[in-house]
Structure 1
C-alpha cells in the first residue's frame, strides 16, 4: 500500500501539548557530483510532545524562516503529516517514521497591541 500524501494526523490527539526545544539539524541539497551544497532543503526541530511522552522531530521546508522560539514555548504544527522510509534488509525491511509539517507556529500567539498616539487637550 502506498499513501502518496502520507498519513494525515489529528495533531491534538496525537501530540497533545507541544513545547519547542531546539533546531536539531539542517538537511542540505546535494550537488550533481554528490557533494553537499550550501543550499538548505529542510530544517528539523526537536519538540517535546505530551501526547507521545517524549521528544519528537519535525521537519519543515527551508523556505520557512528559521524558528528561534524560547525554550518550552508552546507551539503547534501547521498541516502535519507522518510518512515512512523503508530500507530492504536480509530479513525483510527496516521502516523509519518521520513527521513533516508546513510550519511550526507559536500557539495562541496574540497580536501585540500598538500604542495609540496621545492627543493633547483632552
Structure 2
C-alpha cells in the first residue's frame, strides 16, 4: 500500500452536542494495488499524526476489516471499514520522510 493523505478527523461531542476540540480517530487514504483503488484506514487519535510523503510504501499494524449493516426500506445496506492500530513506513531503513521518527541533524528525537 502507498500513503496518500489524511482524509479526515472525527472529533468527540461535548455534553451539549457541540463538537469538541478532542480528536477521537483519524482516517487516511491509502492506495491499494490489490484492491486497485484508494482505501480508507482509520487509526486511533492517540497515535501520532501521519505526515508521510505521497506514494511512500506503508503497512498497517494489526489491521481489521469488518462491515456495518444498516436496514432500510429496500433491505440492508452493508458498508466495509478498515481500522488498524497504526500506519508505519514499510522497510523503514529504505525510505526517507518519516517525520515522526527522524529528527533533523543536531536535534534530539521528540
Structure exhibiting the larger radius of gyration computed from Cα positions? 1
Q: Which segments of structure 1 move beyond 3 Å, counting only runs of 4 or more?
A: none
State how far apart, in whole Å, the 1-side matches of 2:70 and 2:18 are.
23
Question: 2:80 matched to 1:97?
Answer: yes
Question: 2:25 matched to 1:70?
Answer: no
What's the Cα RMSD here? 1.4
The answer for unaligned runs of 5 or more in structure 2 is: 95-101, 103-110
With normalisation by structure 2, the TM-score equals: 0.82
The answer for unaligned runs of 5 or more in structure 1 is: 1-17, 113-122
State how far apart, in whole Å, the 2-side matches of 1:32 and 1:80 are.
32
With normalisation by structure 1, the TM-score equals: 0.74
Count of residue correspondences: 95
